[in-house]
């Protein structure tokens, strides 16, 4: 038997040098054919209104304008909703959010196009908007019917429990803020075909949506994506409207059109992370073990379902995080509001669900005057019993004790906690806090059919170089690098002989979005399967020609070793070509084992879980609410990491993005629905100076995926973001030190300076 070996090779991202030198081509860098036009979008200044008249006379006459498109120009489907309708490209009668696109222009320059759209005269009859979750709940305004999940008899158990707590909690929205904003570039071809370059995580759905909009066949639309400058979920569906409008303009003008959004317009038009509001009641014993839990979980979905169904179900699937919840009732409400349609964002609802339970456990600990670390550990899923989730899945890969316990040690949690207490006794205005939080995050798309991927691999006969194409989108997370590493190992070739080429719908069709952290798991496996078919062709050929027994071979160091016969890879390839052997193949992969019944909410929605834990220590200024992360220690499970350098980047980056979500990034809407935070001047994302002063990140040494996943790796796409929960609870710990310890401070996320100050004031008042 061939011994199992793993790649664990730190190497730079395949485009690292190009990223930093500016030679990496993003959509806006593609050379423009002569005659290219530039687009801009005119959007609604009302959040809820009947459209009386759209007068574009002055827009059309504006300098440099070549064409204008409105809903009248759409002959096919006027909607970009991925699962349900509800996201019109241009609404006909009614606007539903401030920023909703109404028309677009193509002009001779981007500047002229942007100037022109401002000249529209639109008359509306205003309607009353619903902006806040609580208002939507009151008015029963929902985008979809929410699920109710139940295990055991929580109501009775809570009533009988020795201890009870009740409360409310919210986590905030978040703008994706990728370095590269939304952009599309469309070039008309013969026969009304279109080549579409789009900064998207989902080329196949872009293709479908454009085809439906134009009433054309899918085979007339080719979507190409070499890389995107970050997506974070914000280009899983939110890119569609730009690609659609850009194609509409290209069709009308019969010229290439580029539509690159200005940052403000980008933020105003597109959907963001769902903010969540929860009400809970929990019953627990003297030791702080949760016995019964009842939660009402509501999210702001914006105007349409978009991906809200799946996001809310992921929140429900992660309401347990790493904890065993024997009796549970959760009612979920998907609130329809007059705001842009909330969408995918790293964590996809999972993190929002996890924050609910973490906050409850924190409050339980404080009410019992116990260290939250102890209560957390005591509620963990166990290995032999108490290991079935509330959705009926048995947890078979639990390593949370190992990770949590070794982090407690390596971070010196106990002694640093004492240090924090001492510091707080000595200091009146500055207070420190420390917290440890666990992460358990399920991997697979919860929509079963999305767990498939395809690949196309060619080996060229003259030099044995390898061309790989898959459905994976390179968004900075390093999937092209990791796929090339997997292929290079599979063929025993040096990394530089493998080229992963731009993702395009005419090479690999029917792809899923690069999302759910599953990109390399799925597409890497499909690429390996394609390579294995070519290897099989080679094996059959060698076996027959050289009359050897076994067609299997070992591919390593540029050699192909059959039992009794060895070849240099290049010579074998040449020889195979001359003997008319196919050196190209597609490959396909589907995730095994998973199944999930949405109605009963039971099954095995995930192939495996990712685990991690983090300790954060913070300091707050009780006079200003300012806060700073002093030290972060993380141990995170990446299985057998394909590329530990890239995984480390994902773990650090995810953490910082999570810390931004929980401490400083605050999306605000006025009561009339106008978003006020649409540029970096009013919306603060973490800067270099917000990085923890000490940042110790370790990939879990003994990590190995139990399931059959490429290289026995575990993805690091989304799960590390949730390590940032420790920052929020460290801040809460610091606030708690200003009052009686057993009185839990009330603070919602994001813990901005204002909220920290208010929380301290409330504690003072209750003293
Ligand atoms: N990392 C970078 N640099 N840029 C991104 O846009 N997106 C995140 C995460 N890490 C993102 C990122 C999100 S939301 C997901 S789902 C995963 O990467 C997608 O990639 P993966 O499936 O290869 O992990
Ligand atoms: Mo990630 S939110 O699944 O694109």
How confident is the model over 589-615, as pLDDT tens digits?
999 999 999 999 999 999 999 999 999
Give distance in angstroms: CA of 643 to centre of ligand 1. 15
pLDDT at 740 over 80: no
Residue 296 burial by Cβ neighbours in a 10 Å radius (0-12, 13-18, 19+): middle
CB 479 less than 6 A from any atom of ligand 1? yes
Catalytically annotated residue among 190, 374, 718, 764: 718
CB 236 less than 6 A from any atom of ligand 2? yes
CB 345 less than 6 A from any atom of ligand 2? yes
CB 721 less than 6 A from any atom of ligand 2? no
Index of the ligand 2 atom closest to the CA of residue 232: 4
CB 346 less than 6 A from any atom of ligand 2? yes
- Could you give the 3-state DSSP secondary structure of residue 729? helix
Index of the ligand 2 atom closest to the CA of residue 231: 4
- Sheet containing strand 94-95, strands side by side: 94-95, 49-55, 121-126
Question: What size, in residues, is the chain?
Answer: 767
One DSSP character per residue, 101-142 reads EEEEEEESSHHHHHHHHTT-EEEEEE-----SHHHHHHTT-E
Residue 522 to residue 309: CA distance in whole angstroms: 23
pLDDT at 739 (0 to 100): 85
Could you read off the pLDDT of 172-219 as tens digits, one per residue? 999 999 999 999 999 999 999 999 999 999 999 999 999 999 999 999
Q: Best substitution site from 19, 273, 477, 484 to test ligand 1's pocket, by max atoms within 8 Å of Cβ? A: 477
pLDDT at 5 (0 to 100): 87
pLDDT at 767 (0 to 100): 52
Q: Mean pLDDT throughout 140-160?
A: 98
Q: Best substitution site from 173, 311, 348, 518 to test ligand 2's pocket, by max atoms within 8 Å of Cβ? A: 348
Ligand nearest to the CA of 720: 1
Model pTM?
Answer: 0.98
CB 654 less than 6 A from any atom of ligand 2? no
pLDDT at 766 (0 to 100): 73
pLDDT at 743 over 90: no
Contact 762, 622 (CB under 8 A): no
**Which DSSP helix (H) or strand (E) runs through 613?**
strand 608-621
Could you read off the pLDDT of 5-59 as tens digits, one per residue? 899 999 999 999 999 999 999 999 999 999 999 999 999 999 999 999 999 999 9
pLDDT at 469 (0 to 100): 98
pLDDT at 742 (0 to 100): 66
pLDDT at 1 over 70: no
pLDDT at 278 over 80: yes
Whole-angstrom distance between the N-terminal and C-terminal Cα of the chain?
70
Q: 132: alpha, beta or left, given left = phi > 0 and alpha = psi -120 to 50? A: beta
Ligand nearest to the CA of 343: 2
CB 635 less than 6 A from any atom of ligand 2? no
> Token pair for residue 81?
């909703």
pLDDT at 515 over 80: yes
Angle at 125 between CA 120 and CA 126, to 5 degrees: 105
For the question of residue 718 being annotated catalytic, the response is: yes
Residue 740 to residue 733: CA distance in whole angstroms: 11
pLDDT at 546 over 90: yes
pLDDT at 764 (0 to 100): 86
Contact 747, 672 (CB under 8 A): no
CB 307 less than 6 A from any atom of ligand 2? no
Residue 424 to residue 316: CA distance in whole angstroms: 37
Could you read off the pLDDT of 225-268 as tens digits, one per residue? 999 999 999 999 999 999 999 999 999 999 999 999 999 999 99
> Token pair for residue 644?
């530990």
pLDDT at 77 (0 to 100): 98
Q: Mean pLDDT throughout 319-339?
A: 98
pLDDT at 334 over 60: yes
Could you read off the pLDDT of 59-100 as tens digits, one per residue? 999 999 999 999 999 999 999 999 999 999 999 999 999 999
CB proximity list for 481: less than 8 A, separation 6 or greater:
11, 12, 13, 14, 643, 646
Please list the residues that pair with 675 across neighbouring strands: 669
Please provide residue 372's backbone torsions phi and psi, each rounded to the nearest 5 degrees: -55, -30
pLDDT tier at 2, thresholds 50, 70, 90: low
Q: Which of the pair, 417 or 744, is modelled with greater confidence? A: 417
Please list the residues that pair with 669 across neighbouring strands: 675
Residue 509 to residue 456: CA distance in whole angstroms: 10
Residue linked to tokens 């002569």: 34
Contact 581, 574 (CB under 8 A): no
Residue 561 to residue 490: CA distance in whole angstroms: 13
pLDDT at 741 (0 to 100): 60
Contact 239, 200 (CB under 8 A): yes
One DSSP character per residue, 20-84 reads HHT-S--GGGSPPPTT-EEEEEEE-S-SSEEEEEEE-HHHHHSTTEEEEE-GGG--S-----SSS
Give distance in angstroms: CA of 501 to centre of ligand 1. 19
Give distance in angstroms: CA of 98 to centre of ligand 1. 29
pLDDT at 107 over 60: yes
CB proximity list for 261: less than 8 A, separation 6 or greater:
41, 181, 182, 183, 242, 269
pLDDT at 765 (0 to 100): 83
């Amino acid at each position: 038997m061939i011994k199992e070996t793993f790649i664990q090779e730190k190497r730079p991202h395949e485009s690292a040098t190009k990223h930093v030198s500016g030679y990496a081509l993003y959509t806006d860098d593609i050379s423009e054919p002569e005659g290219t036009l530039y687009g801009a979008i005119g959007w609604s200044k009302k959040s809820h209104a009947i459209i009386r008249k759209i007068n574009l006379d002055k827009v059309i006459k504006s300098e440099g304008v070549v064409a204008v498109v409105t809903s009248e120009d759409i002959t096919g489907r006027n909607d970009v909703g991925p699962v349900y309708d509800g996201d019109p490209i241009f609404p006909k009668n009614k606007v539903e959010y401030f920023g909703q696109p109404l028309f677009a222009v193509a002009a001779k320059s981007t500047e002229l196009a942007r100037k022109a759209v401002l000249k529209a005269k639109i008359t509306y009859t205003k309607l009353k908007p619903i902006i806040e979750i609580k208002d939507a709940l009151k008015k029963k305004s929902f985008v979809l019917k929410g699920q109710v999940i139940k295990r055991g008899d929580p109501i009775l158990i809570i009533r009988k429990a020795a201890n009870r707590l009740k409360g409310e909690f919210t986590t905030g929205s978040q703008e994706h803020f990728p370095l590269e904003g939304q952009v599309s570039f469309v070039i008309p071809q013969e026969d009304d075909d279109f080549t579409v370059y789009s900064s998207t995580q989902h080329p196949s759905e872009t293709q479908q949506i454009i085809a439906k909009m134009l009433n054309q066949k899918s085979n007339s639309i080719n979507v190409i994506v070499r890389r995107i400058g970050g997506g974070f979920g914000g280009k899983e569906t939110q890119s569609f409207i730009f690609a659609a409008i850009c194609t509409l303009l290209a069709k009308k003008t019969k010229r290439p059109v580029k539509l690159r959004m200005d940052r403000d317009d980008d933020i105003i038009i597109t959907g963001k992370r769902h903010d969540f509001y929860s009400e809970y009641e929990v019953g627990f014993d003297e030791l702080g073990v949760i016995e019964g839990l009842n939660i009402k979980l509501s999210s702001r979905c914006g105007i349409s379902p978009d991906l809200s169904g799946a996001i809310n179900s992921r929140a429900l699937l992660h309401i347990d995080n790493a904890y065993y919840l024997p009796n549970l009732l959760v009612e979920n409400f998907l609130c329809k509001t007059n705001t842009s349609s909330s969408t995918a964002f790293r964590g996809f609802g999972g993190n929002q669900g996890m924050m609910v339970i973490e906050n409850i456990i924190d409050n339980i600990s404080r009410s019992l005057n116990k260290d939250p670390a102890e209560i957390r550990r005591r509620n963990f899923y166990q290995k032999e019993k108490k290991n079935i989730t509330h959705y009926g899945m048995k947890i078979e890969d639990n390593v949370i004790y190992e990770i949590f316990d070794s982090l407690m040690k390596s971070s010196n949690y106990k002694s640093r906690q004492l240090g924090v207490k001492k510091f707080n006794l000595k200091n009146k205005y500055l207070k420190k806090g420390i917290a440890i939080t666990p992460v358990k995050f399920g991997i697979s798309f919860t929509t079963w059919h999305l767990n498939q991927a395809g690949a196309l691999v060619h080996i060229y006969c003259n030099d044995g170089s390898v061309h790989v194409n898959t459905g994976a989108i390179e968004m900075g997370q390093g999937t092209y690098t990791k796929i090339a590493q997997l292929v290079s190992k599979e063929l025993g070739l040096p990394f530089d002989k493998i080229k992963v080429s731009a993702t395009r719908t005419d090479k690999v069709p029917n792809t899923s979005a690069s999302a759910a952290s599953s990109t390399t798991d799925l597409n890497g496996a499909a690429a390996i399967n394609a390579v294995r078919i070519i290897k099989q062709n080679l094996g059959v050929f060698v076996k027959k020609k050289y009359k050897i027994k076994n067609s299997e071979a070992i591919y390593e160091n540029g050699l192909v070793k059959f039992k009794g016969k060895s070849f240099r890879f290049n010579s074998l390839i040449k020889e195979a070509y001359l003997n008319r052997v196919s050196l190209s193949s597609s490959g396909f992969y589907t995730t095994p084992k998973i199944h999930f019944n949405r109605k009963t909410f039971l099954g095995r929605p995930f192939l495996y879980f990712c685990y991690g834990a983090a300790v954060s220590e913070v300091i707050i200024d009780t006079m200003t609410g300012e806060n700073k992360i002093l030290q972060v220690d993380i141990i995170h499970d990446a299985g057998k990491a394909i590329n530990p350098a890239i995984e480390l980047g994902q773990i650090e980056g995810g953490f910082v993005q999570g810390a931004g979500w929980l401490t400083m990034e605050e999306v605000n809407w006025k009561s009339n629905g106008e978003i006020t935070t649409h540029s970096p001047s009013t919306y603060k994302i973490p800067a270099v100076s917000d990085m923890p002063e000490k940042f110790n990140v370790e990939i879990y040494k003994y990590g190995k995926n139990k399931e059959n996943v490429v290289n026995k790796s575990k993805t690091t796409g989304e799960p590390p973001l949730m390590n940032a929960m420790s920052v929020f609870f460290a801040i809460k710990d610091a606030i708690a030190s200003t009052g009686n310890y057993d009185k839990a401070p009330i603070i919602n996320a994001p813990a901005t300076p204002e909220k920290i100050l208010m929380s301290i004031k409330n504690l003072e008042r209750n003293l």
